[in-house]
Structure 1
Amino acid sequence: MSGVRGGVVMGVSGSGKTTLARALAGAWEATFLDADDFHSDEARELMARGEPLTDEMRQPWAAGIATELQRRVADGARVTLAFSGLRRQHRDLLRAAGLPLQFLFLRGEAALIGERMRGRSGHYMPVSLLDSQFATLEEPGDEDDVVVLPVDLPPDAQLRLALQVLGVPLHDHLV
Structure 2
Amino acid sequence: MAESLDRWMENARRRRWVVMGVSGCGKSEMGRRLADALGIAYAEGDDDHPPANVAKMAAGTPLTDIDRRDWLLLLQSRIAAAAARNEGLVLSCSSLKRRYRDLLRAGDPALVFVHLHGDRALIAQRMHQRPGHFMPPALLESQLRDLEPLQADEAGIVLDIADTPEQLIEQLMQHCRQQAD
Supply the AA of the counterpart residue of 1:149. L
Q: Which residue of 2 aligns with 1:91?
A: 101
Q: Mind listing any 5+ residue stretches in structure 2 that lack a counterpart?
A: 1-7
Q: Which residue of 2 aligns with 1:113?
A: 123
Name the count of aligned residue pairs: 168
Q: Deviations over 1:63-84 (max 9, x none)?
A: 1101011112323421001110
Q: Deviations over 1:10-62 (max 9, x none)?
A: 00000011111100111101100111011100000000000000011111111
Report whether the alignment pairs 1:22 with 2:15: no
Report whether the alignment pairs 1:9 with 2:19: yes
Mapped to 1, the partners of 2:175 and 2:111 lie a distance apart of 11
- Shift in Å, 1:99: 4.4
Mapped to 1, the partners of 2:126 and 2:68 lie a distance apart of 24
Report whether the alignment pairs 1:53 with 2:63: yes
Q: Say which structure is richer in helix.
A: 2
Q: Relative to structure 1, is the Cα distance of residues 35 and 134 closer, same or farther in structure 2, using a 3 angstrom cutoff?
A: same
Checking the alignment, whether the CA contact within 8 Å between 1:33 and 1:80 is kept in structure 2 is yes
Mapped to 1, the partners of 2:121 and 2:165 lie a distance apart of 18
Checking the alignment, whether the CA contact within 8 Å between 1:7 and 1:166 is kept in structure 2 is no
Mapped to 1, the partners of 2:133 and 2:41 lie a distance apart of 22
> Residue 149 of structure 1 is aligned with which of 159, 163, 173?
159
Checking the alignment, whether the CA contact within 8 Å between 2:80 and 2:107 is kept in structure 1 is yes
Q: Deviations over 1:84-119 (max 9, x none)?
A: 010111100111113422111111111110001101
Checking the alignment, whether the CA contact within 8 Å between 1:46 and 1:53 is kept in structure 2 is yes
Q: Which residue of 2 aligns with 1:171?
A: none
**SS where residue 90 of structure 2 aligns?**
strand
Q: Which residue of 1 aligns with 2:143?
A: 133
**SS where residue 174 of structure 2 aligns?**
helix
Supply the AA of the counterpart residue of 1:23. R
> Residue 123 of structure 1 is aligned with which of 117, 126, 133?
133
**SS where residue 19 of structure 2 aligns?**
strand
Supply the AA of the counterpart residue of 1:108. G
Mapped to 2, the partners of 1:60 and 1:143 lie a distance apart of 25
Report whether the alignment pairs 1:103 with 2:117: no
Report whether the alignment pairs 1:165 with 2:170: no
